Structure 1
Amino acid sequence: MLIRKASWRNAFCALALSAVLLCGKSAMAETTLRIAMTAADIPTATGLPNNGFEGMRFLGYPIFEGLVLWDLTRTDQLAALRPGLAEKWEQDPADNKTWIFHLRRGVKFHDGTDFNADAVIWNLDRYFNNSSPQFEAPSSAMSRARVPLMGSYKKIDDSTVAITTTKPASYFPYMVVYLLFTSPASFEKAGHDWAKVATLPAAGTGPFRITRILPRQEADLSRWDKYWDAAKMAKVDNVVLMPIPEANSRLAALRSGQVDWIEVPPADGLSSLKSAGYIITTGSYPHVWPWFYNIGATNSPFKDVRVRQALNYCVDRDGLVSLLNGTAEPSVGWLKIGDPDFGAPANLYKFDPAKGKALLAEAGYTPAKPLSFKVMISNSGSGQMLPLPMNEFLQQNLKEDCGVNVEFDVIEWQVLLTAARATPDSPSLQGAMALNISSPSSDPGVMARYFSSANFSPNGFNFEQWKDDEFEAALKTVGDSTDPKEISAAYRKAHERLVDNPPWLYIVHDLNPRAMSPKVKGFVSPQSWFVDLTLVSMQ
């Protein structure tokens, strides 16, 4: 009897232990965050993603890092820079065109290989040295456009690199932030074939690593438990990224539980989402949603500044904001009107069709000879908000209020981005006289990239081939000076010229709307295009 009782007790204890282990396993179940992007496809996963800044947001910084990174932990100010793979940097006191970057020691790529000066030079050659074995044309095109001042670079020692720009630029660290680093071993393992690198998958140094890529379907990330910054360890185990370009499809995916977070919910669905308990986040950030004027095209109507100004007076921005259910604000310049660096331009654009039509008439466009042109737009994409209904509103607005005829060429987002690097009369533009491409407005480095005459397409982001001598002089002061007051005054002057001699039709500033399940905790909506996924948890 004693033996039988002991066996019963042992069996009970075994069952109890199994239950504890099962409960413990349940309590420790992996957490997965599922995000619906606006992109039509998975951004390239070789270390420098395409698909604009949405690509950088999700397949860039979480996996592949730069010497300089963004501080994305605050909502009350524009995102600042912070040390990344470089612990610190400074201008060479003997040469203000040379920057010295002191690399973080002990960092390893996800594949276990060392991050060091050799890896930095290897990646810079990937972007800027056409004759290097690792040269990658698509990444090079993006990097040269984002860092147009790159001159030369060299290794000083294993943990120090010097980069020399083509001219002095106080804002150069704001360009370096877009150069991300991939393990050279990934390229070797893929047999020197960048097309195969993503299938390995590629190794970075970030808080997440790529585990799987399914084109057009999903990209899977997992937390990197050996991340070099213990204070920035990710809180979720996995992230699944899904390309869902159509807004109502993203909404349906959230409601059905297919995803936990969607980028840019449809404006007419916000109220119902709130009522159902979903979280809607918005926030000011450095973003402008414009049309780029094709000023350089042979027969462009936009060579005449009066035409460019006229359209800025013709746009009903408040009506468009109402269409978007308040998730945007009117844009009357590259910067927001409340920005201390907005300046005091002569033109303060508002909805004034009479003034717009008067300017058009001065330029020779009347009801008998109306202004007519084509705009290239996308059906979705990074920062594009809801481009089809927004552009349809503008088309009707310009026709009814100023007699302007606009037709659209709707193309895929990445194709539109490529078009922005075309020359003004390129056949690829199919006669388009404007491009609708949402763009950052975060710092003088971005201003230089988009508007300096040194960066005319196809070499840079000045698609318009716009040149203004007063702007050029002010931008030079911004780059040359080390006096913050002098830099700020010149920055304001440069922005005044962007308003009074506009290269763009300024339309709205996005308020960065997202919709999330109440299970998503810890998200911060920074004043940036990017987000810090390490802050997010699932409960």
Structure 2
Amino acid sequence: MRKRFWIINLAAVFLFSSVLVGCVEKKTATGGKTLVYGRGADSKLLDPIQVTDGESFKPIDQIFDKLVEYDKESTEVVPGLAESWETSADGLTWTFKLRKNVQFHDGTPFNAEAVVYNFERWMDPNHPEHKGGEFPYYGYMFGGFKGDDGHVIESVTALDEYTVQFKLKKPLGPFLSNLAMSPFGIASPAAVKKDPVKFAQNPVGTGPFKFESWKKNDSVVLVKNENFWKKGQPKLDRIIFKSIPDNAARYSALKSGGIDMMDGLNPNDAHLIRQDSQFRLYEQPGMNVGYLAFHTGKKPLDNVKVRQAINHAVNKEAIIKNFYAGQAIPAVNPIPPMMWGYNDQVQDYPFDLNKAKQLLEEAGYPDGFEIEFYAMTEPRPYMPNGKKIAEFIQADLAKIGIRAKIVTYDWQTYLDLTGKGEHEMALMGWNGDNGDPDNFLYVLLDKDNTRMPDAGNIAFYKSDQVHELLIRAQGLTSQEERSKLYLEAQKLIKNDAPWVPIAHATDTYAARKDITGFVPHPTTQLIMENLDVKE
């Protein structure tokens, strides 16, 4: 056994060394300025409209532009492919003036017809290129698809070559913010038409970097777009997104020079980086939430007292101390306190195992029950070690008679199964996309988003009262009036307990000191066009 252990470890060292040497070879052999970015998992697909996971959006955000963008340090909306816009007094008509002389990476022109094509492809399930996935984010943000009762976009029309107009069926408060989200990157119509399914492996946009290659579960390579419409950008010639699932291994690769920059630091490693003069630590208060979702359509989790009992049995303070090294705050509501519309009057369920037992008895489960507990294995910003956190929760659940069996899958399978509702309860999390409460509350907890196979609401929580509040809030443009409705929705959600909100984590990144131009964004969008490496 000892000999076999030594051989396995020698092989692991050789493999890890090969990974680092491979990175270094790529950096030196290709010429120009290359940055190797270490991340925790591979992308699922590279067609922005077909994915919801952050790992897919990291390279996607470099390949594609949106009509509008977020300011580099906030969720304020600024011009993107659209230079300017105006809206009618009733909020139903939005007119965008587009940039001229912008080309897709395949050389075809960007214009109003390209915008119309993308939106028609996304919204219409009968469109010939509405293929390759479920286009989940479109449904989340625009009330479903063409033909659905809640679908908010009536039409998208090219008024001339560089003017596009949206007609809405009703006002949508977060409409402009939604357009700046990563899923709504504008794709080359010519490239999509060639093969709408394979486009997700060969993406073509107008962004600062062009797709070059993708080695699954290893690396995505992007190269500089010499014709990018922002003059003087990008600064880098090449970006390599390197998948290194283990946080500690990724940190070692950074320290040894195998990668130049990384996310997903173990909290203790973040403290070490802070003290190392060769590197720089970037910290961003997280517009995120890590949570435990209950499938409210399955027994015994259809009983609100069972869900409340489990809320009382989760020790958030201890979880943050043990697994976040203090770089998080306990979550009370689904949205973080930094966000407008947050209800600071809502009281959390205190950690109280006796109260949890009492509620289980009242629910008819005095001896507890058995249940499957999905736990993610890949680290996420909002969940640095899902398996260990699940084990910690499992131990406290056992004290109240709940015998939880932990089940794990790779990240893509995990997303697929939870989106289809295969789980009973599952750890999950969310990084906010646009700074609007709608992006948390409607996407994650409205009954509209229980559509399978890509349910955003994996609690399958269906409250008519909450739905009415959220839909009313969408139809208003006054932030003050919308906030009142979100305050009320959070009270109802807390009482119904479809989740245990666990933590809002601080997002951390580390990079070599000679890398400049990086600003972490509240949405976790990676903005890399300004990054530079000293030669």
C-alpha contact 2:39 2:241 (8 A) present in aligned 1: yes
For residues 48-447 of structure 1, what are the structure 2 equivalents within 5 Å?
48=49, 50=51, 52-56=53-57, 58-71=58-71, 73-74=72-73, 78-93=74-89, 96-138=91-133, 140-147=135-142, 148=144, 149-157=151-159, 158-165=161-168, 167-176=170-179, 177=181, 178-188=183-193, 191-192=194-195, 194-195=197-198, 197=199, 201-230=202-231, 233-277=233-277, 278-297=279-298, 300-323=299-322, 324-337=324-337, 339=339, 341-345=341-345, 347-366=347-366, 369-380=367-378, 382-383=380-381, 384-400=383-399, 402-422=400-420, 424=421, 429=422, 432-441=423-432, 442-446=435-439, 447=441
Distance 2:387 2:472 in 1: 40
2:3 corresponds to which residue?
A: none
Computing the radius of gyration from Cα coordinates, the structure with the larger value is 1
CA distance in 1, matches of 2:531, 2:470: 39
Q: Residue 508 of structure 2 is aligned with which of 513, 523, 528?
A: 513
1:33 paired with 2:35, answer: yes
TM-score under structure 2 normalisation? 0.83
Query: Alpha-carbon deviation of 1:101?
Result: 3.3
Closer, same or farther in 2 for the Cα pair 1:462/1:410, shift >3 Å? same
Equivalences, count: 489
Contact 1:36 1:244 in 2 (8 A): yes
Match of residue 23 from structure 1: none
SS in 2 for 1:467: coil
Q: CA deviation at 1:242?
A: 0.9
Q: Return 270-279 or 211-220, whichever deviates more.
A: 270-279
Of 349-358 and 511-520, the range deviating more from structure 2: 349-358
Counterpart CA distance in 1 for 2:123 and 2:213 is 29
| Deviations 1:477-534, CA, capped at 9 Å, x for gaps | 3122233321222222222222232221111112112222223223212222212112
Q: Partner residue of 1:14?
A: none
Distance in 2 (CA, whole Å) between partners of 1:30 and 1:243 is 22
Q: Is this contact kept in 1: 2:69–2:78, CA < 8 A?
A: yes
SS of the residue corresponding to residue 334 of structure 1 reads coil
Unaligned runs of 5+ in 1: 1-25
* Percent of matched pairs sharing the same residue: 24
Structure 2 Cα separation of the partners of residues 511 and 67 of structure 1:
29
Specify the code of the residue in structure 1 equivalent to 2:521: P
Residue pair 1:42, 1:218 contacting (<8 A) in 2 also: no
2:342 partner letter: F
The Cα shift of 1:240 comes to 0.7
Q: Distance in 2 between matches of 1:100 and 1:362?
A: 57
Tell me: CA distance 1:131–1:221, structure 2 relative to 1, closer, same or farther (3 Å). same
Distance of 2:66 and 2:56 partners within structure 1: 15
> Using the alignment, how far apart are the partners of 2:375 and 2:166 within structure 1?
37
- AA of the residue aligned to 1:154: V
Alignment match, 1:9: none
Shift in Å, 1:34: 0.8
- TM-score, with length taken from structure 1: 0.83
- Give yes or no for contact 1:455–1:461 (8 Å, CA) kept in 2: yes
> Structure 2 CA distance, aligned partners of 1:268 and 1:484?
39
Per the TM alignment, residue 338 of structure 1 is displaced from its structure 2 partner at its CA by 6.2
1:413-452 residue CA offsets vs partner (Å, 9 max, x unmatched) = 1222223332x4xxxx1xx212222113431331222222
CA distance in 2, matches of 1:175, 1:271: 35
1:522 is matched with 517
Amino acid aligned to 1:440: N
Once the two structures are superposed, residues 86-111 of structure 1 have per-residue CA deviations (whole angstroms, 9 ceiling, x without a partner) of 233444446x4444333333321122
Q: Take 2:300 and 2:347, find their aligned partners in 1: how far apart are those partners? A: 20
> What are the Cα deviations for residues 253-303 of structure 1, in whole angstroms up to 9, with x where unaligned?
212211011221223433444444433322212100012210123xx2222
The answer to whether the 8 A contact 2:63-2:203 is kept is no
Verify the 8 A CA contact 1:171 1:444 in the aligned structure 2.
no
* Alpha carbons 1:291, 1:435 under 8 Å: kept: yes
- What SS does structure 1 have at the residue aligned with 2:368? coil
- 1:266, 1:344 → 2: CA distance? 29
Bigger Cα displacement from structure 2, 325-334 vs 166-175? 166-175
CA contact (8 A) 1:144 1:150 kept: no
SS in 1 for 2:428: coil
Gaps of 5+ in 2: 1-27, 145-150
Q: Distance in 1 between matches of 2:349 and 2:340?
A: 18
- 2-structure distance, mates of 1:165, 1:532: 30
In structure 2, give the amino acid aligned to 1:156.
Answer: A
Partners in 1 of 2:141 and 2:249 — Cα distance? 32
1:139–1:529 CA distance, 2 compared to 1 (3 A): farther
Distance 1:42 1:527, change over 3 A: closer
Q: Take 2:379 and 2:191, find their aligned partners in 1: how far apart are those partners?
A: 29
Equivalent AA in structure 2 for residue 170 of structure 1: G
Please give the secondary structure, in 2, of the residue aligned with 1:417.
Answer: helix
Report if the CA contact (8 A) 2:116-2:158 is conserved: no
| One-letter amino acid of the structure 2 residue matched with residue 390 of structure 1 | I
**Structure 1 residue identity aligned to 2:412:** Q
The Cα RMSD (Å) is: 2.7
The answer on 1:454 being equivalent to 2:448 is: yes
